[in-house]
A and B are shown apart, each in its own frame.
Chain A
Amino acid sequence: MKSQSSPPSPLSSLRSRVVAVAAAAAVLAGVAVTYTLQAAERAESADATSEFGLDRGKLYFRSTTEAAGRVARVPASGGGGGGTRTTGGPSCERFYAAAGTGLCLQRRSGIPPKSYAVVLDDRLREKRRIALTGIPNRARVSASGRMLSWTMFATGDSYAGSSFSTRTSILDTRTGYLIKNMEEIPLTLDGRRYHSPDVNYWGVTFAKDDNRFYATVSTKGKTYLVRGDMAKWSATTLRSNVECPSLSPDNTRIAFKKRVRKGTRDPWRLYVLDLRTMREHPLAERHSVDDQAAWLDDDTLAYALPGADGRKQDIWTTRADGSGRPTLRIRDGSSPAAVR
């Protein structure tokens, strides 16, 4: 008999060590299996059917507390912490809706994990499902409900190992035409046609005519506001240091996040840009906002911030003219979308 391990120990000692490690392994396996089973039980079945539809005068959002991960709604008017929330909408990582169309970005775990953009009708029933890869990030529906756009973060697709790049898609629900990755759109930067492998778009927002749109483009470490044209399929930069634009309902202003600090500590602040004068002003919110703000009406913007007291995210509102003070609108929520 020879021992596998070399220390000067008799066989009995090796055997006792094997027994001890095997016993420990059994205990650890027990812990792992028990915890996993409990977690699996805890996970409620992600029900696709919604208990409500898209109605005017409601503010929809993704709930991060009760019925976590599912869409909920509150009346659009009336402030406060949202006592009258109705839960039980579709299960989405990111949600937006306008007129009779909802857009729900989902992720399903598995090997490999899959993501979907799900188009929903006015009863929030599934109309179309598009398989994607990456991590859901931005979602927008044009005011008419016709044009949809979403952005996914792609991991592993980057020039530096740990950074992300984005893939932005545009879907015309009337024709069914889908642009899976708008990266190839002819881009004019500072007046010249521009080519670079590192061009990334995100945060598309459509105008009332369902043709003109605005978005962020980033290249070589800078971000720009671009104006795009669906019919001509072209894009032109207007201004630098603009991210996640969001067009006001009257189409005269753009809310966006502006990088005000280098590095990762509180880098962004919300601004509003007047498209006629091209003048911008900061909003009253002093926290760094990493979200595509949503216009509740022509005077009010909503956006998600990391929650206090262990809450994941809260939805705040602030006035678009920069006056007043931000208000906590919905605790434990993200992806605000007002259906007007």
Chain B
Amino acid sequence: MYLATTDAVAKASEQEQSGVRRGRVAGPVLALGAVSLVTDISSEMVTAVLPLYFVLQLGLSPLQFGFLDGLYNGVTALVRLAGGYAADRGGRHKLVAGGGYALSALSRLGLLLAGGATAGIGAALAADRIGKGVRTAPRDALISLSSPPDTLGRAFGVHRAMDTTGALLGPLAAFALLWATADAYDAVFVVSFCFGLLGVLMLVAFVPGHLSQVSPRPSRPAPERHRPAAPRPRALGLLRVPAFRRVLCAAALLGAATIGDAFLYLLLQRRLDFAISWFPLLPLGAAAVYLLLAVPAGRLADRVGRRVPFLAGHVALLGGYVLLLAPTDGWPLLIGVLLLLGIFYAATDGVLMALVAPVVAQERRASGMAVLQTGQALARLVAAAGFGAAWTLWGVGTALTCAVVALTVAVAGAAALLPQSHTSSGGPT
């Protein structure tokens, strides 16, 4: 089996031996999943109502809102890298992730206290996005560090399913609150803060702090061979690991051919011409599919190797594009696209983390995941901008055709780039 035998892994396998049924994931993964569930309720509550709050309650113009919203998306990329790096230094994953969760929770109070002051709102939004950026990579590193390598797919599947459950419940909770209180946005912020704080407390209480006792000292068997000499666990050194580089390039290549959900939903709306009030339900449909398939996709990834579902997920996305180009109509089109989009997320999001975990040494796990997530996000940004430009210049049909071609090429390229297998052989390099 590839990868160091870590304390956490040893513990997890002990658990399995001591009678924990096969199919269960490690305790810390469940704990992190629960934290994510509660935190996502908190954050999606706010995300769902913010446009309304800004425009209706505060009288900000949509322009200002769009600016505030877009401003921090670039910032998060850098913060994410910093979070990953900080977590790796001294193995402070829990501390860094917890700091991120706490910062996001506190930002709700910031929104409450800011009143109508644009500067205050800007600061609160920044705090939220920074918190989200900081925590993501350490959290995913914790998941990978507390799971045996051959169950990583399942572990990420379980985590993403719990995470998505929270994301589905959040907007429902927020709109129910607004309905019950006749638009008391402050109540939404207070309840969101309570959920956020609960998430932090659960993290503190149930997620073990020193998984990374695994990294500094003990057993360093085989895989450490792509680690440079001990004293320089630098994040940039990651890029010198060929297997990591290949995963990164594949993810970026595919990301650059992923046009973004908003476009797909917009295309669906244009093709089907349904009432706009249904629009907010489209992401929920895709998320529900994601939720249902995340665990099966993860298990499949553990069994057949992670590159297969990862590539297949992108083929599903390709299918969605083709469906939008094809003369399909009505319910088959709607259900087909949402289903394929859900499959895409289920087969790629957590699976990519499971795919990259074994090729990154433990003491660089969080940095590696941060670099990968950032690379993918930036590539998707480019793709969205490119698709928007193509749509405006050449019309929607041509733009979609371009997307189909680009994604086909990207899938082929990624198939060539991605290492054949991680679970079996002695290592991908």
Tell yes or no: B187 within 8 A of A by CB.
yes
A133 to B276, CA, bound (A): 7
* Contact (Cβ within 8 A) B15 A2: yes
A164 to B62, CA, bound (A): 6
Chain B 135-166 interface residues, beta-carbon cutoff 8 Å to A:
146
Tell me, rounded to whole Å, the shortest Cβ–Cβ distance linking B390 to chain A: 11
* Contact (Cβ within 8 A) B55 A17: no
- Which chain B residues have a beta carbon within 8 Å of chain A's beta carbons? 8, 11-12, 15, 18-20, 26-28, 30-31, 51-52, 55-59, 61-67, 69-70, 115-116, 146, 172, 175-184, 186-187, 190-191, 194-195, 197-198, 201-202, 205-210, 260, 262-263, 265-266, 269-270, 275-277, 279-281, 384, 388, 391-392, 395-396
Query: Which residues does chain A contribute within 8 Å of B115, judged by CB atoms?
Result: 310
Q: Which of B191, B263, B266, B396 lies in contact with A32, CB distance below 8 A?
A: B191
Contact A135:B201 (CB < 8 A) given known A2-B18, A7-B208 = no
Query: Which residues does chain B contribute within 8 Å of A135, judged by CB atoms?
Result: 51-52, 55-56
Tell yes or no: A36 within 8 A of B by CB.
yes
A163 to B260, CA, bound (A): 15
Contact code string A43-79 (vs B, CB < 8 Å = 1, else 0): 1101000000000000000000000000000000000
Tell me, rounded to whole Å, the shortest Cβ–Cβ distance linking A128 to chain B: 19
Chain A 52-110 interface residues, beta-carbon cutoff 8 Å to B:
93, 107, 109-110
* Contact (Cβ within 8 A) A35 B191: yes
Stretch at the interface among A116-124, A153-161, A168-176, A293-301: A153-161
Tell yes or no: A185 within 8 A of B by CB.
no
Tell yes or no: A20 within 8 A of B by CB.
yes
* Contact (Cβ within 8 A) A267 B198: no
Q: Which of A113, A159, A290 lies in contact with B388, CB distance below 8 A?
A: A159
Closest to A23 in B: B201
Sampled A-B contacts (24; CB under 8 Å): A4-B30, A4-B31, A6-B146, A32-B191, A32-B194, A32-B195, A36-B191, A40-B182, A40-B184, A109-B183, A110-B175, A133-B277, A135-B56, A155-B51, A156-B265, A157-B269, A159-B266, A159-B391, A160-B70, A167-B276, A267-B63, A306-B116, A312-B58, A312-B59
Query: Which residues does chain A contribute within 8 Å of B206, judged by CB atoms?
Result: 4-5, 17, 21
Contact A21:B59 (CB < 8 A) given known A2-B15, A5-B28, A109-B182 = no
Query: Which residues does chain B contribute within 8 Å of A137, judged by CB atoms?
Result: 55
Contact A39:B52 (CB < 8 A) given known A21-B202, A290-B61 = no
Tell me, rounded to whole Å, the shortest Cβ–Cβ distance linking A235 to chain B: 21
A93 to B59, CA, bound (A): 10
A154 to B280, CA, bound (A): 11
* Contact (Cβ within 8 A) A161 B67: no
A5 to B206, CA, bound (A): 6
Query: Which residues does chain B contribute within 8 Å of A236, judged by CB atoms?
Result: none
Query: Which residues does chain B contribute within 8 Å of A133, judged by CB atoms?
Result: 275-277, 279
With a 10 A CB-CB cut-off, give which of B62, B175, B197, B275 has the most chain A CB atoms.
Answer: B62
* Contact (Cβ within 8 A) A156 B66: no
Tell yes or no: A28 within 8 A of B by CB.
yes
Q: Which of B11, B175, B198, B262 lies in contact with A109, CB distance below 8 A?
A: B175
Query: Which residues does chain B contribute within 8 Å of A17, judged by CB atoms?
Result: 205-206
Query: Which residues does chain A contribute within 8 Å of B262, judged by CB atoms?
Result: 156, 158-161
A133 to B51, CA, bound (A): 14
Query: Which residues does chain B contribute within 8 Å of A162, judged by CB atoms?
Result: 65-66, 69-70
Query: Which residues does chain A contribute within 8 Å of B15, judged by CB atoms?
Result: 2, 6
Known: A36-B177, A156-B265, A161-B262. 7 other contacts (CB 8 A): A6-B27, A7-B210, A36-B190, A107-B56, A111-B179, A159-B388, A306-B59
Closest to A334 in B: B59
Q: Which of A7, A36, A313, A334 lies in contact with B181, CB distance below 8 A?
A: A36
With a 10 A CB-CB cut-off, give which of A4, A39, A134 has the most chain B CB atoms.
Answer: A39
